[in-house]
Amino acid sequence: MIFPVVAFVTAACVYGSFAYFGIRMKRSQVDRLANLPFNEEIPTRHETVLK
């Protein structure tokens, strides 16, 4: 019974730290993160044309 409790506490600490640092992020970091090309489509290897 101790393993699930320890696993849950560990996961909660990890996600809690992600949320904490995400909330405390500086405005310049937020702007830089917003400009990253996450939605840019990159062709996979089988779609590229090799010459």
Please indicate, yes or no, if residue 42 is contained in any of the structural domains.
no
What pLDDT does residue 34 have?
A: 84
Is 47 within a domain?
no
In a domain, 48, yes or no: no
Q: Sort residue 40 into left (φ over 0), alpha (ψ -120 to 50) or beta.
A: beta
pTM > 0.85: yes or no: no
CA dihedral 11, 16, 19, 20 (to 10 degrees): -150
How many domains would you assign to the chain? 1
Q: Is the pLDDT of residue 40 over 80?
A: no
In a domain, 28, yes or no: yes
**Residue 7 placed within a domain:** yes
| Tens digits of residue pLDDT in 4-39 | 999 999 999 999 999 999 999 999 998 888 888 776
Where in the sequence is the domain holding 23, given as residue range(s)? 2-35
Domain membership flag for residue 44? no
